[in-house]
Chain A
Amino acid sequence: MLQRLRRQIPGTVVIMWCIGIAILGIVFWGTVATLRSGKYASAQWVDLFVYGIAQGGIYALIALGYTMVYGVLRMINFAHSEVFMSGPYIGYYVALALDQAGLLNRYPVLGLGIVILVAMTVSTTIAVLLERIAYRPLRRAPRLVPLITAIGASYFLSYAFLGLFGSDLKGYPEIQALKGTWNILGVEVLRPQIVVIVAALVMLAGLYLFVRHTKTGKAMQAVAEDKDCAALMGINVDRIIVITFAIGGALAGAAGVFYALLFKQVKFNMGFFPGIKAFTSAVLGGIGNVTGAMVGGMFLGIAESLFPNLVLDGLGIPAPYQLKDALAFTLLVLVLIFRPTGILGERLAAKKA
């Protein structure tokens, strides 16, 4: 009897479930301890939550680039974090020029629009060039090969920016119209956060409609489903792949400017953490799944902003915000162990079988 049970449930699975339950227990315990201590007022929780949504919107926009490329090519575009960095970096010089001309403060909407457009263009160009130079020749190579190329391209881009523009933090110019707070439903929210949330939501909705309802969007879905079959149906696969990279790049460029609005600075290596977190979001939502990336991004943004105070504080860990960045990695590892298909990832799981 015991032997049959052992054969049915392998040892590693039991160990892993034990670890999972232990982790949930710790999280629960920490949360209860924090809430009972009453250390934080409810207004602080709301602030953290709104900040989490803004952050989550940015993650979602970047995550789309990962997830769409994974959908069509089955590869992790490791260099996507540098695509994200390059847009706002060039945008910084444009913003600086606009600021000196006084345009940024006189017509903030127009000025910001120009900066975002420039950033999107730069990121798109870099994403498309990457595909053309680094990935296209390797489309039939073993799976590790394009991944290593992507890592190389990522380092090349990031350190080329360092060499060209220097290693210092570049402070984005302040926009007067975005200083202070707006009152939304009785809550005072920082203005950049509102702008970022609204713009990100609009873009996410636009992308969703594009993928679902346009001919190109449907072609992208077809290529993601089966490249060879799509080619037989008369879809130009190379073109769709380029479009996928371009859209991913454009969204990442916009996300980069939003990031710069929130944190008011750019740096050559600013892409690494948002990149890896956006990837985590994509995996959380189920990689290859567009809706999943959006949900995953929002979830991660909110979790990351609440988690250190909500859970770690209750566990008595000093300076919990220092461990904020470890959360994304921990979540990533946990999701991949317990639900490799992600929250909404049924589609891909069925295909792998």
Chain B
Amino acid sequence: MPAIHSETRFDWSQPVKTGLLGGVAALLLSLIGVIEASHARPVISGIISLGQALLLIVFVLTCVAAIRRAGYARQETSSRGRLLLCGGVAGLMVSVALAALVLIGNVVNLRAVFIKASPELYHLLTLGLDTGGVLALLMSGFLLGIVVGATYLLPARLRRAIAMALGAIPLLAVLYGAFFPGRRFTLPGALALFVVLSAGSYWGGDIRSLVKQRVASLPPAGQRVYKIALWALVALLVLLLPTTGSYPSQMLDLVGLYILMGLGLNIVVGFAGLLDLGYVAFFAIGAYTQAVLTSPEIRWLGEVRLTFWEALPFSVLMATLAGVILGIPVLRMRGDYLAIVTLGFGEIIRIVALSDWLKPYIGGSNGITRIPKPVIGGWELATPGRLYYLIIAGCLLAAVIAARLKHSRLGRAWMAIREDEDVAQAMGIDLVRTKLLAFATGAAFSGLSGAIFAAMITSIYPHSFHLLVSINTLGLIIVGGMGSIPGVILGSLALVGLPEILREFSEYRLLIYGVALVYMMLVRPEGLLPEARRKLELHEAEAAE
């Protein structure tokens, strides 16, 4: 009813409410310390830091939300003024919340309770002008809201291109800084990048469809060449990544190990629908088996020490066995019970590994050290850059196995169980065998990951195998998209790689995980790169309505 709407007066309560909600979010970010911690990392050298960029994002999102909720018709000239005002009011309210914090903080020492409410934070929030800056803060919030409103009036395609480019620049700046330490974006560089990105995003759809058309018109042999060339390009990029330095390689190694685990858990949770929160247990068993067999510290199995490669099959085998053994008792359980019991298993393994009881065998709280690195033909994979190739090989192997299994008879049986156990059984699927195979396969991948992990860090301690590892793995497959193999890779990059780059965020990593899990479940339960079938299932109800 845009016609009626344009007759009514400006509705103050909605943008004020939305703005205050955004203000609470901004306050939380500030008081938790995210803003100040990320202030040290520049997005554009000397112009804007990541902390400021984050605050800006909160502002923009709040204004957009307020304008969207008000539901102004964009085409109508008569409502344009109100649309701008709506954005301005929302932006102002965010500023008001932050200004209140600064003013209160100047009178009362908030630091006794909120440890991150430091003068530096106030200095940052008031644009470096301290108490006098409160006015500047309020003004800029209002103006920013109006600018957002004005952008909202632009044609949808242009607006989206600008938003994409603006959102991508902080991300690219962070990646650039991580892979090329010491380097950062300059203002002209960032402007050029902005133009290129927004142009690319503006015409991106056209270009893509054009390329698709061209490829489709090629003869079959040409199409194959095109596909191979594309894959070769991707492979080359993946292989060249660790040459940028030792620190990025370390990060990539970790991402790779999580991809391996994610692929395994994806079989258990994504394919078979068995929520396993004790997945770290198999990782631990793989790592400990590797350590016990190869470290010269452990003598109770005899004097002969195996090499990495000789011990690897045993590690995987032990993890697989553990998967079956832990799988048997939980066969009859479903859903949330299964989740809690597997969580219990994971914790039991860690507590037992930590206790003095098994100390003579696996080192107790002292862990096991001096685990040898893998050697291939006299070439020791000593650096993270070299280990990277081993991990990539492992990931590739696991991804191929997972992809082949997914469309096999077994994979279809897993998905049938996920959808409805009773019906699956009625259709002649052997529940015991199918479920145990899911646990065993998942455990094998995790064991492999654990074995490589042990060789990578050369010393393992029980606290490396915390419940958090399970939660991280679960988080990455959920964010990526349950049941989707590319989703696991994207999820690991986003949830393991990114926090590894943003080291100042390490304290907030799990906070971000938590938000990501809740957000994904509320807004996009199928994940970022969803599996086609799952997407259909999750949106079945909406389609029916």
Contact between B517 and A151 (Cβ–Cβ < 8 Å)?
yes
Return the chain B residue nearest A156 by Cβ: B514
B336 at interface by CB-CB < 8 Å: yes
Known: A148-B474, A156-B515, A157-B514. 20 other contacts (CB 8 A): A12-B328, A19-B329, A137-B522, A141-B525, A147-B275, A149-B521, A152-B513, A155-B514, A156-B514, A159-B507, A163-B511, A276-B344, A317-B355, A322-B356, A326-B348, A326-B352, A329-B344, A329-B347, A333-B345, A337-B330
Closest to A76 in B: B336
**The one of B336, B347, B541 that contacts A140, using a Cβ cutoff of 8 Å:** B541
Nearest CB of chain A from residue B463's CB, rounded to whole Å: 13
User: Does B337 interact with chain A (Cβ within 8 Å)?
Assistant: yes
A323: CB under 8 A from chain B?
A: yes
In the assembled complex, the CB of A223 is this many whole angstroms from the nearest CB of chain B, namely 19
User: In the complex, what residue of chain A is closest to B115 when comparing beta carbons?
Assistant: A166
Give the residue among B31, B333, B507, B525 with the most A Cβ atoms within 10 A: B525
B471 in the interface (beta carbon within 8 A)? yes
Residue on A nearest B114 in the bound complex, by CB: A164
**With the chains together, A98 CA to B17 CA distance in Å?**
35
Q: Answer whether residue B113 sits at the interface, using C-beta atoms and an 8 A cutoff.
A: yes
In the bound complex, what is the Cα–Cα distance between A29 and B517 (angstroms)? 46
Chosen A-B contacts, 5 in total, with CB atoms closer than 8 Å, are A12-B432, A140-B541, A152-B516, A325-B347, A333-B345
Quick check: B517 and A323 within 8 Å, CB to CB?
no
Cβ–Cβ contact A75 & B356, under 8 A: no
Residues of A within 8 A of B507 (CB): 159, 162-163, 167
A167 to B514, CA, bound (A): 18
Q: Give residues 473-507 of B contacting A (CB, 8 Å).
A: 474-475, 478, 507
**Does any Cβ of A come within 8 Å of B374's Cβ?**
no
Contacts of A317 in B (CB 8 A): 355, 357
Q: Which of B344, B347, B508, B516 has the most CB of A within 10 A?
A: B344
The answer to whether A154 and B355 have CB atoms under 8 Å apart is no
B58 within 8 A of A: no
Say whether B450 faces chain A, with CB atoms less than 8 Å apart. no
Knowing A148-B521, A332-B344 are in contact, say whether A12-B331 is a contact too (CB < 8 A): yes
Chain A residues positioned under 8 Å from B149 (CB to CB): none
B273, CB-defined interface residue at 8 Å: yes
Q: Does B335 contact A (CB under 8 A)?
A: yes
Give A195-233 interface residues, CB cut-off 8 Å to B: none
Q: B510 within 8 Å of A by Cβ? A: yes
Contacts of A158 in B (CB 8 A): 510, 514
Dominant SS among interface residues on chain A: helix
Chain B residue contacts of A155, Cβ below 8 A = 471, 510-511, 513-514, 517
Say yes or no: is A134 at the interface (Cβ < 8 Å to chain B).
yes
- Is B190 engaged at the interface, CB distance under 8 Å to the other chain? no
What residues on A are CB-neighbors of B31 within 8 Å? 163-164
How many of chain B's residues have a CB under 8 angstroms from any CB in A? 57
- Kindly identify which residue among A151, A163, A323 contacts B352, using a CB–CB cutoff of 8 Å: A323
Minimal Cβ-Cβ distance residue in B for A93: B113
Can you list, as one digit per residue, whether each of B337-365 has a CB less than 8 Å from chain A (1) or not (0)?
10111011101100110111101000000
> Are the C-beta atoms of B357 and A148 separated by less than 8 Å?
no
Asked if A144 is at the interface (CB within 8 A of a chain B CB), the reply is yes
Residue on B with the closest CB to A82?
Answer: B514
Residues of B within 8 A of A177 (CB): none
Cβ contacts under 8 Å, A330 to chain B: 344, 348
Among B273, B351, B525, the residue within 8 A (CB) of A323 is B351
A154 to B517, alpha carbons, bound, how many Å?
10
B19 within 8 A of A: no
- A16 and B336 form a contact (CB under 8 A): no
Asked if A160 lies at the interface with its beta carbon under 8 angstroms from chain B, I say yes
A108: Cβ under 8 A from any B Cβ: no
B216 touches A (CB below 8 Å): no
Q: Contact check, B339 vs A147: say whether CB atoms are below 8 A apart.
A: yes
How many angstroms between the C-alpha atoms of A52 and B434 in the bound complex?
A: 42
* A323–B115 alpha-carbon span in the complex (Å): 35
Provide the bound-state CA to CA distance between A319 and B365, in Å.
13
Interface centre among B347, B511, B514 (most CB of A within 10 A): B514
CB closest chain-B residue, reference A144: B275
Is there an interface contact between B329 and A160, defined as CB atoms closer than 8 Å?
A: no
A51 close to B (CB within 8 Å): no
Q: Which residue of B lies closest to A272 (CB)?
A: B467
Minimal Cβ-Cβ distance residue in A for B475: A152
On whether the beta carbons of A148 and B517 are closer than 8 Å, the reply is yes
- Given known pairs A151-B474, A323-B351, the reply for A276 and B343 (CB within 8 Å) is yes
Interface string of A158-175 (1 = CB under 8 A from B): 111011111100000000
Given A143-B336, A152-B515, A159-B511: A164 and B32 within 8 A (CB)? yes
- Chain B neighbourhood of A322, CB < 8 A: 351, 354-357
Task: Check A184 for interface membership: any CB of B closer than 8 A.
Answer: no
The reply to whether B33 and A163 form a contact with Cβ atoms under 8 Å apart is yes
- Cross-chain contact A159 with B508 (CB below 8 angstroms): yes
Q: Which of A15, A93, A151, A332 contacts B328 (CB 8 A)?
A: A15
Interface string of A292-326 (1 = CB under 8 A from B): 00000000000000000000000001110011011
User: A76-B340, A144-B275 given as contacts; is B522 within 8 A of A138 (CB)?
Assistant: yes
| A114 contacts partner chain B, Cβ-Cβ < 8 Å | no
Task: Find the A residue at minimum CB distance from B344.
Answer: A329
B214 within 8 A of A: no
Q: Mark A60-102, 1 if CB is under 8 A from B, else 0.
A: 0000000000000001100000000000000001000000000
Counting CB contacts under 8 A, is A115 at the interface? no
Residues of the B chain whose Cβ atoms lie less than 8 Å from the Cβ of A93: 113
Q: Are B517 and A152 in contact (CB under 8 A)?
A: yes
Contact of B329 among A16, A76, A164 (CB under 8 A): A16
> Bound state CA distance, A145 and B527, in angstroms?
12
| Known contacts A148-B478, A151-B471, A319-B356: A326-B116 contact under CB 8 Å | no
B residues less than 8 Å from A134 (CB atoms): 518, 522
Cβ of A245 within 8 Å of any chain B Cβ, yes or no, is no
- Judge whether A329 and B345 touch: CB under 8 Å: yes
Minimum CB–CB distance from B171 to chain A (whole Å) comes to 22
Which of A155, A157, A158, A276 counts the most B-chain CB atoms under 10 A from its CB? A155
CB of A153 closer than 8 Å to a CB of B: yes
B16 at the interface (CB under 8 A from A): no
- Assuming the contacts A147-B336, A323-B355, A340-B337, asked whether A152 and B521 have C-beta atoms less than 8 A apart, the reply is yes
